[in-house]
Amino acid sequence: MSAKQQTWFTEYQTDSLSLGLRIDQILLAEKTPFQHLLVAETETYGRLLALDGAVQTTIQDEFVYHEMITHVPLFMLDAPRKVAVIGGGDGGSIREILKHPSVQEAHLIEIDARVVEAARRFLPELSAALDDPRAHVHIANGIDWVREARDFDVIIVDSTDPVGAAAGLFQPSFYQSIAAALNPHGILVAQSESPFLHLALIKDMIAGMKTAFSVVRPYVAPVPTYPSGYWSFLMASHRPLSPSLRCRTDRIDTRYWTPEMQSAAFALPRFMEDLLP
Ligand code: AG3
C-alpha cells in the first residue's frame, strides 16, 4: 500500500464515534485567528473543507445541505428580496439563494476571512456565486451584524457546531435579534445538527426560538458526511408557514430539492415529533 493510500482525514464526531475519509492530497492546512482550516481532496466525496476538525462541506454531498437550507425557506415566500446568510463562508448557500429571480440582495456575514479566501481558491463550485452583483460579503461577527439589520425576508444561520466562535449563534438572544431584523413575513432557518446525536440541543434551540417567534418547525435531510448522516434544520416565523404557489411553477436548477421535497422534509420520525411543543 502506498503512503498516499494511508492518509486519512478523521472527524471525531463524539468521544466514541468518528468518520474517516481517505484523502489524496492536503491542499491547505492553516491556523486562522478563529480556527484550524483544512482543505483536502478526498477519494469518495471530492474536495473537503473542515474547520477545527469538523466537516463543513464536501463537493459531492454539499448540494443536499445547501439546497435544503435555502430553497425550503425561500419557497415559503412569493417574492423573497432580501436574504442574509450568517456563516456559510464557502458560498454554497449564496449560490442557491441567487437562483431565485426575485432576490435582489444576498448578504453573507462570515467571521473568518480565511474561510472565504480558501473557498474562492479551492471551491469555485460554491464560491463563484460570491462574485454575483447581488451578493454582498461582510467579514464580520454575525451577532453584531444582525443587531443593525432590518427588513430581511429570510435569514439563514449556516453555522458550524455550537462551540467556540459559533456558540453565540445558538442563543435565544441571537434569535431575538434575528426576529427584529426580519420583516413581518420574514423567516429564520438555522442548521440544527443531528437528531440522532444532538436531540437535547435541538430541543433547546426550539425553546430559544420560541422566545422570539410564534412558529418553529423542524425539517430533515440526509448529509452523508455530517455526524450520523441525518441532519436537521429549524424554521421559525411570526406567522403560519405554507409553500408559495411558485414552488410548482418556478423552474430552478436543483439536484435534491423538488416541490414534493418542500413538504416531505417536514415529515418527522416519531422520536422527533415528540420534540414539538
Ligand atoms: N455548516 C454545518 C456544519 C455542521 C457540521 N458539523 C460537523 N461536521 N461536526 C456547514 C457550512 C456549509 N456551508
CB of 90 shorter than 6 A to ligand 1: yes
pTM assigned to the model = 0.97
pLDDT tens across the length of the chain (277 residues): 555 558 999 999 999 999 999 999 999 999 999 999 999 999 999 999 999 999 999 999 999 999 999 999 999 999 999 999 999 999 999 999 999 999 999 999 999 999 999 999 999 999 999 999 999 999 999 999 999 999 999 999 999 999 988 999 999 999 999 999 999 999 999 999 999 999 999 999 999 999 999 999 999 999 999 999 999 999 999 999 999 999 999 999 999 999 999 999 999 999 998 887 6
- β-pair partners for 46: 42
* Residues sharing a CB contact under 8 Å with residue 123, sequence separation 6 or more, in sequence order: 39, 47, 49, 57, 59, 90, 91
Residue 165 grid cell: 466562535
H-state helical runs in 21-141: 62-74, 92-97, 113-122, 124-127
CA distance 148 to 268: 35
Ligand 1: residue of 160, 225, 232 to mutate (most ligand atoms within 8 A of CB) is 160
112 lines ligand 1 (CB under 6 A): no
- Alpha carbon 25 to its chain centroid, in Å, reads 26
User: Could you tell me the domains of the chain?
Assistant: 7-58 (2.30.140.10), 62-266 (3.40.50.150)
Provide the 3-class DSSP secondary structure of residue 250. coil
Q: 60, 191, 201, 228: which to mutate for ligand 1, most atoms within 8 A of CB?
A: 191
